[in-house]
Structure 1
Amino acid sequence: MDLTELTGAILSYGEICDHCLGRMVGKRSFGLTNDQRGKALRISFYLARNEPYKPHEGTCWICQDFFEDIGEWADRVVAALEGTEFSTFLIGTRIPPLMAEGEEMVWSDLSLSFAEPLKSEINREVGKAVVERTGKEADLSRPDVVIILDPVSGTVEVQVNPVFFSGRYRKLERGIPQTHWDCRICRGKGCERCGFTGKQYPDSVEELIGRPVVELFGAEGAVLHGAGREDIDARMIGTGRPFVMEVVSPRRRTIDLRTVEMEVNKQAEGRVEVSLSGWSRREDVETIKSDKAHKKYRILVEIDGPLSFSELKSALEALKGV
């Protein structure tokens, strides 16, 4: 069918706004908004039929006139992001099933292959309004924050993506695990055995580095991803162990890593020290965990009584492969 017939068929389903009407041919032509496409289709339809023009009135049966409130939704997003540092963002929407099913029914009935989903237009239009209000950029691949719109509840949800930085740590004190361990008795709930901390050990390398990191970034947490791990009762000296730190839900993102390094070394003095090398990405976590590390151990052996060279050599041979 031609566009005039198609428009008539779409209008027969019920009252529909220009956005939803235009979105039925959203992948045709360029340089037009769906609102403009819808207006053009509606005008052409009534011109072709030589009938009085009827603009959209009432409530759109597909989107419930969502697009009349784009500015209000953008304001909600800006308010929800207040106090969070970000340069890029991404808008997402939880489309109610009835809305999605409604437009999909039209696509199926009319065999439409050039329609655009409602979710795509909502995300784009709200995103454009947020750009106007904040001057920030939309990023579809690596946004600093993701904002989810919920048309049913009228609320927005903010998901702050983590930041990553890498470096090396040296563990100067024995008896410290690399990462947090839940208490074996209460499994993290807190009991007399662990002093109601929920922890098997009072501290870990992860926590000694993570506490100042959480403070500086205003984050919810910090997760250490190490290239292997050393035994609890062993130190990690030499050049140190490579690691990537994942900073969870940071309110601040552009902290000088030199400041981070100094603060960690100050708070963990004598126990752990770090040397930070730069910012990282999530992919670096997988890389650092898959690397095959080679360890060197230095041991001090105390022997009672005399020992011949041949006996020493035999003892060392016996240790090979252990």
Structure 2
Amino acid sequence: MDIIQEVEAILGYGDTCNHCLGRFFGKRSFGLTNEERGRALRVAHELATNEPHHEPDPESCWICGGELSRTEEWAKRVVEAVDGIEFETFLIGTKVPPLVAESEEMVWSDLSLRDPEPLKAEMNREVGKAVSAISGKTADLKKPDVVAILDLGEGTVEVQVNPVFFVGRYLKYERGIPQTHWDCRACRGAGCEKCNFTGKQYADSVEELIGRPAIEAFNAANAVLHGAGREDIDARMLGSGRPFVLEIEEPRKRSVDLAALEAEINREAAGRVEVHLEGWADRKMVQSLKSDKAHKKYRILVEIDGSVTPDEFRAALDQLKGVTIRQRTPNRVAHRRADKVRERQVLDIECTGSVDGRYWVEVVGEAGLYIKELVSGDNGRTQPSLAQILGRTASVVSLDVVLVKTANEYGE
């Protein structure tokens, strides 16, 4: 079947606008719009069949129903829909009614067409060009700031605002603050008497202390903290801080001064949390942060049941240095962690002093090493442990994280 016969067969299905006629051959030739291609094909068919010229009514097109002649109107709807949202790049997407998609695919299949372009592809491109002309913004297929979805069946535009990310380190000076928001265990976030109808297990979190000023600065819907691991609720995070990426969801503003935001976060969370913001980030950095297992240095205060001389204590610590520890999921986290045995190495451990019969200890461990259980033994679930070596009950009185370094920073 030659191209004229293909055109005649396509027109036999019903009234077809030039846009849609051209789309059936959309990947042939270059430098033509589908409308120009369709008009040329129509004229060529009329010349070949000696028929009078007929300019179709786009509204009567049996495939698109005239939508491809209304791209300027759709572009204006998009510009109205994104009014008040700060962005530089955008992407257009199109939801095509199932019947329309099936209709054009039926023609492709019936006629074994090799070079068609789907309706949604032309809508995305042509509306995108019109939006760019009106707004001065740039279409970006890979990482757009906003995505506008045209719903041809409903005649509506849905706007999706892509998140903004920035990276930094946080320090936590106050014990009793979790890293992220926890829903109330009793009501699961609905609000009840136990949580004073807040829906929260804890009044604040590092995520919220950093996130609240960020949400306001970006005029955003929410903020999600992605940390390089996490410290226990009763532990402080000191030293140079813990690396994190903050994800800002649905920001209506994007050009935020991070130095000013850092100052505002630190002012509002003074004495509790402090941040040092390092720059902008992206989704890949979140994945890298989560996958790069950071080594951590802890400072702990250890209490022993019974008398232990400093020499005995240091000798016991030496037996843990460089050793691989087998830890079954601790009892204290068994309700939310898989019950399995993990192997983690104690990279370094030493006593740095004592106070009131208790010992200060600094420990460097692989990511995932449970420090409290390294000391207590957790009723035999962690082996070896300090308590096991000493033959006495041992416990951590206080715990601070003083250094978090990624494997790359350790030169691994």
- TM-score normalised to structure 2 length: 0.76
Distance 1:51 1:240, change over 3 A: same
Provide the C-alpha distance between the structure 1 equivalents of 2:306 and 2:3, rounded to a whole number of angstroms. Answer: 101
Larger relative strand fraction:
2
Provide the C-alpha distance between the structure 2 equivalents of 1:279 and 1:158, rounded to a whole number of angstroms. Answer: 23
Q: Deviations over 1:63-88 (max 9, x none)?
A: 00112221111111000000000000
Unaligned runs of 5+ in 2: 326-373, 375-412
Larger Rg: 2
The aligned counterpart of 2:181 is 180
Counterparts in 2 of 1:60-209, with a 5 A limit? 60-209=61-210
Give the CA RMSD over aligned residues. Answer: 1.6
Figure out how many residues of one structure are paired with residues of the other and give that number. 322
Provide the C-alpha distance between the structure 1 equivalents of 2:313 and 2:38, rounded to a whole number of angstroms. Answer: 90
User: What is the DSSP-based 3-state SS (H/G/I as helix, E as strand, rest coil) of the residue aligned with 1:8?
Assistant: helix
Q: Deviations over 1:30-55 (max 9, x none)?
A: 00000000000011111112221111
User: What is the DSSP-based 3-state SS (H/G/I as helix, E as strand, rest coil) of the residue aligned with 2:247?
Assistant: strand
One-letter amino acid of the structure 2 residue matched with residue 194 of structure 1: C
User: What is the DSSP-based 3-state SS (H/G/I as helix, E as strand, rest coil) of the residue aligned with 2:158?
Assistant: strand
Q: Deviations over 1:56-114 (max 9, x none)?
A: 13600000011222111111100000000000000001100111111111101110010
Provide the C-alpha distance between the structure 2 equivalents of 1:318 and 1:310, rounded to a whole number of angstroms. Answer: 13
The aligned counterpart of 2:216 is 215
Would you say 1:254 and 2:243 are equivalent positions? Answer: no
Larger relative helix fraction:
1
Distance 1:104 1:287, change over 3 A: same
Distance 1:51 1:242, change over 3 A: same
User: What is the DSSP-based 3-state SS (H/G/I as helix, E as strand, rest coil) of the residue aligned with 1:296?
Assistant: strand
Provide the C-alpha distance between the structure 1 equivalents of 2:8 and 2:297, rounded to a whole number of angstroms. Answer: 78
Provide the C-alpha distance between the structure 2 equivalents of 1:202 and 1:309, rounded to a whole number of angstroms. Answer: 41
Provide the C-alpha distance between the structure 2 equivalents of 1:153 and 1:10, rounded to a whole number of angstroms. Answer: 27
Provide the C-alpha distance between the structure 2 equivalents of 1:14 and 1:309, rounded to a whole number of angstroms. Answer: 94
The aligned counterpart of 1:31 is 31
Deviation at 1:306, TM superposition (A): 7.0
User: RCO greater where, 1 or 2, for CA within 8 Å and sep 6 or more?
Assistant: 1
One-letter amino acid of the structure 2 residue matched with residue 225 of structure 1: H
User: What is the DSSP-based 3-state SS (H/G/I as helix, E as strand, rest coil) of the residue aligned with 1:312?
Assistant: helix
- TM-score normalised to structure 1 length: 0.96
Would you say 1:45 and 2:36 are equivalent positions? Answer: no
Provide the C-alpha distance between the structure 1 equivalents of 2:35 and 2:47, rounded to a whole number of angstroms. Answer: 18
Q: Deviations over 1:231-261 (max 9, x none)?
A: 1000000010000000000000110111111
Give aligned-pair identity as a percent: 65
The aligned counterpart of 2:340 is none
Unaligned runs of 5+ in 1: none
Provide the C-alpha distance between the structure 1 equivalents of 2:298 and 2:132, rounded to a whole number of angstroms. Answer: 55
